[in-house]
Structure 1
Amino acid sequence: MSTNTYYAPHGGHPPQTELLTDRAMFTEAYAVIPKGVMRDIVTSHLPFWDKTRLWVLARPLTGFAETFSQYIMEVASGGGSEKPEQDPNAEGVLFVVEGEIEVTLQGKLHVLKTGGYAFIPPGTNWQLRNRHKDTARFHWVRKHYEAVDGVPLPEAFVTNEQDIEPIAMPGTEGRWVTTRFVDSSDMRHDMHVNIVTFQPGGVIPFAETHVMEHGLYVLEGKAVYRLNQDWVEVEAGDFMWLRAFCPQACYAGGPSRFRYLLYKDVNRHMKLTLNAPR
């Protein structure tokens, strides 16, 4: 399997001579956060994290996407946290796009290199440290876990996308494949964070319109994406945030493949009371 590369922001600021026109947009149905707006001035920090800053790509907003948050974490050499998560109901996924991190889950040490993936159930005792000389950058997707009586909690696990065989969408001859980190029929999981890959010219040939919310971070390549009634050009480093039922489709633009990290909420009944706790 070929070695994968992923785009990661490095901050900085554009010169005063640069035009401010960009592709950033926020609508009632979707948002696009292009890589060009992920600068130093928009970073955040978290309690109990050393030598760390982050870009917040998504957070629950009433009337918009409400189920998840997503960060790009940037941890300098020697940085990390002994108390990374303060919410006992939060589950998480880590996906490394640059560098190397050490993650301790329930006392067991794991080294995650580029392409490394960790699922962390709610209530897990875990720590994270960058002991490598280079800065590490990784995605951290968080969601309040929706427990179901009679369905056990999912287990923590660590893997790398290089070790998982992508699954081709039927009828696409491999032009559209998905790297699935958990079985889609496993009812223990109420969110999926997968990687979707299109070969140049590959398409989603219909406007997907469904209840799942999405966060899509472009890891490689470029495409033109249909978001609601608009066609939007996106490239590696861009993030798209889609609320439920936002129509979506895409054409992969080439010359290389188009890949994105995809969040969606799954496998649970719809809440019948507005603002009911998850």
Structure 2
Amino acid sequence: MDPKGQIAIVTGSGSGLGRAVAQALTQRGARVVGIDLPPRDGTDPAALPELAMAIQGDVVDAAQMETAFARVEQELGCPTILVNCAGILGPARVFQIDRETGQITPRAMDRFRRVIDVNLTGTFNTMRLFAAGLAKGNPQVALDGEDRGVIINTASVAAYEALSAQAAYGSSKAGVAAMTLPLARELARYGIRVVALAPGTFETGMIGDIPDHTRQRLVADVPFPNRMGRGDEFAHLVLACVENQMLNGSVLRIDGAVRMREPRGVSA
């Protein structure tokens, strides 16, 4: 699929990997719709020059996404590219220890649920709307071998090697990776491909949520190149997935050959 002239939806477009993807698709001639939560710094996402349309919304909210996709179809047309970059880290240890009393208390469930909701449920929420829209426009089985649509989701190397306190994040990203193949098989008859990318340590706002000693170890463990990844490198792979028809049903690691290991000194 040539990105030029396509309508693309990018979630998490306000920053990090999503912003880089939105910019790259725009440079290749796509009309990009960005979906993201209201920015923390008060900036207006509609001011981002690369976006044909900016929509504020929570990918977890079914009604909000239904409204967003309906608006895109009405004002621009049926989207043919979906890139899911919306995600949160959110530590979720099983229990916490009071440093003064030593008392052990089970963690509340809300933080775990939120990570699963955003990273996994939110990804599925946008995919179901995207795929249904394309299927309605192409009800017949795709026998001509042409791409009707491409879905690219963001998993993580944490899907395979999550660290301590990443039970929620790791399991959410493992879910994104695990649903890639069954969804690719389900949507094949409509000419819709499904791919997931599993980035390692990248320069995004999320990396700031990781403790300094853990972040330093993660970067130090990257064999080559021995640095954090850049958003434009992730976006470059997104473009390759859009353009290469044989990329389907696969999870591609983009991590500099890192295999995450537990930093020393980890405590509850």
Q: TM exceeds 0.5?
A: no
Tell me the TM-score normalized by structure 1: 0.30
Q: Which has the larger share of strand? A: 1
Higher RCO (Cα < 8 Å, 6 or more apart): 2
